[in-house]
Amino acid sequence: MTAGTANRLFSPAEPAEALENIKQSLAEKRPIIPAGRFSRLGDWSRRPAFGADFVAAGNLNQIVEFNPDDLAIRIGAGATPAELNQILEGTNLFWPVRGVHLENRSLGAILNEGLSGDEVRRYGRMLDLLMGVEMITPDGRRIKTGGATVKNVSGYDLTRLCWRAAGTLGFVLNVTLKLTPNLETKCLAEVPLADPAVGADLAEKIILGRLGAESLKIIHNQGWFLTVGLGDFREVVDLRKERLAAILKEAGLAYEIYDDPGYYSRPEMVLCSSRTESARARRRDLLNMVRSLAGRKDGDFYLEADITGEMARFRSLPDRFPGVVVDDVNSAGPVYRQLKNSLDPEDIFFPLPLMTKRPE
């Protein structure tokens, strides 16, 4: 790492330009930091004397290939889910990895951070809707893997290489994504809760009762709420509303239904800031965490526990969550490092996450 030299920013508009930029950085052995459009690099990118090359995907946000009959689109990694869904307007298709928290994330960043949308239970993670990737490898090769077919088992599945790799295993140029036909209708049920434990029990009941909720969240934002997202054909949503009403009636809880809510996230819960922390855990652990937060003073924290998505986003908590149980076996780390050491032996691509200490 060339400490003491200035950072450089590349914003390639074409894959060939990105390749040229990255080859230049590799030749000069400067650390490469892949960045999205609204990247969370935050204060790191403003450090003047770090000497890294930031390669931003923001200008790589064009459609590369799109045929609605294929239920697939190939698009630059710098596009955001909101932009993608705008492109799809009028086609009867949409991209289901969406939510308030993803509004300003580029697709490449969502892939590299391993994020999920509000409707993860029904449609899966971005990884599950990723059909192909074109990327630049840590040794400067431009490779393409996968394509516009759901089924493809030819060779090693390199499409999944960058999932949660935080930009350490290459620079994503564009992605081929599986699209979904528009839902006929959707609604959001919001249940105010006096006690989070009641919400946790209800959430458990809804999952075990196979209500078919697309989204199930326990939210703390000036009070506790359970939100249940329902979307499908009209008849199915009506059926699910009836079943949900019966469950809530039995629990003696009032609720409100919002038709066509847009996202299942609550707009005021925009938690994409550098102060945001997130946790992944099993549903059971998230529910136990929610239960353990009972009695905490209102207003001292924000929480959005996505039970079906197995993810919690929280802000302004003075301490780490109590009650998130984590497994002490983690052998995936060494396997990943083995891969990283082999593909990027000089640790050029985004060395920061692998450092034990952030650069001063």
Residues 141-200 that bind other proteins (CB under 8 A): 141-145, 147-161, 163-166, 168-169, 180-182
Identify which of residues 7 and 305 has a Cβ nearer to other proteins in the complex: 305
Q: Give first-to-last CA distance, the chain, whole Å.
A: 13
User: Can residue 232 be called a binding residue for other proteins (CB under 8 A)?
Assistant: yes
Closest distance between other proteins and the C-beta of residue 11, in Å?
25
The residue type of 8 is: R
Binding mask 282-321 for other proteins (x = CB under 8 A): xxx-----------------------------------x-
**In degrees rounded to 5, what are phi and psi of residue 96?**
-80, 0
Angstrom distances, CA of residue 336 to CA of 21, 63, 116, 331: 26, 32, 21, 9
Stretch of 20-28, 47-55, 259-267, 281-289 lying at the interface with other proteins (CB under 8 A): 281-289
Stretch of 5-13, 222-230, 245-253, 280-288 lying at the interface with other proteins (CB under 8 A): 280-288
Q: How far apart are CA 88 and CA 109, in angstroms?
A: 20
Identify which of residues 31 and 140 has a Cβ nearer to other proteins in the complex: 140
β-bridge pairing 180-181 and 171-178: unpaired
**In degrees rounded to 5, what are phi and psi of residue 28?**
-90, 0
Identify which of residues 256 and 328 has a Cβ nearer to other proteins in the complex: 328
User: Can residue 235 be called a binding residue for other proteins (CB under 8 A)?
Assistant: yes
Tokens of 70: 């294929």
Candidates 222, 274, 330, 356: give the one binding other proteins (CB under 8 A).
Answer: 330
Closest distance between other proteins and the C-beta of residue 193, in Å?
19
Q: How far apart are CA 237 and CA 231, in angstroms?
A: 6
Site residues for other proteins, window 240-259 (CB under 8 A)?
240
Residue 139 in contact with residue 343, Cβ under 8 Å? yes
Q: If binding means CB under 8 A, how many residues of this protein chain bind other proteins?
A: 80
Candidates 342, 356, 357, 360: give the one binding other proteins (CB under 8 A).
Answer: 342
Identify which of residues 221 and 278 has a Cβ nearer to other proteins in the complex: 278
Closest distance between other proteins and the C-beta of residue 342, in Å?
4
User: Can residue 332 be called a binding residue for other proteins (CB under 8 A)?
Assistant: yes
User: Can residue 17 be called a binding residue for other proteins (CB under 8 A)?
Assistant: no
Residue 191 in contact with residue 226, Cβ under 8 Å? yes
User: Can residue 114 be called a binding residue for other proteins (CB under 8 A)?
Assistant: yes
Candidates 45, 204, 255, 317: give the one binding other proteins (CB under 8 A).
Answer: 204
**In degrees rounded to 5, what are phi and psi of residue 192?**
-70, 140
Site residues for other proteins, window 35-74 (CB under 8 A)?
67-72
Tokens of 216: 């199930």
Contacts 24+ apart (CB under 8 A), 312-318: 312/278, 312/279, 312/280, 312/281, 312/286, 313/101, 313/269, 313/271, 313/276, 313/277, 313/278, 314/271, 314/276, 314/277, 314/278, 314/279, 315/271, 315/273, 315/275, 315/276, 315/277, 316/275, 317/277
Identify which of residues 59 and 232 has a Cβ nearer to other proteins in the complex: 232
In the beta sheet, which residues pair with residue 55? Answer: 10, 34
Helix (H, G, I), strand (E, B) or coil at 210: coil
User: Can residue 275 be called a binding residue for other proteins (CB under 8 A)?
Assistant: no
Identify which of residues 7 and 200 has a Cβ nearer to other proteins in the complex: 200
Angstrom distances, CA of residue 14 to CA of 11, 76, 174, 187: 9, 9, 10, 40
Site residues for other proteins, window 118-137 (CB under 8 A)?
124, 127-128, 137
Identify which of residues 86 and 149 has a Cβ nearer to other proteins in the complex: 149
Identify which of residues 7 and 171 has a Cβ nearer to other proteins in the complex: 171
Identify which of residues 4 and 333 has a Cβ nearer to other proteins in the complex: 333
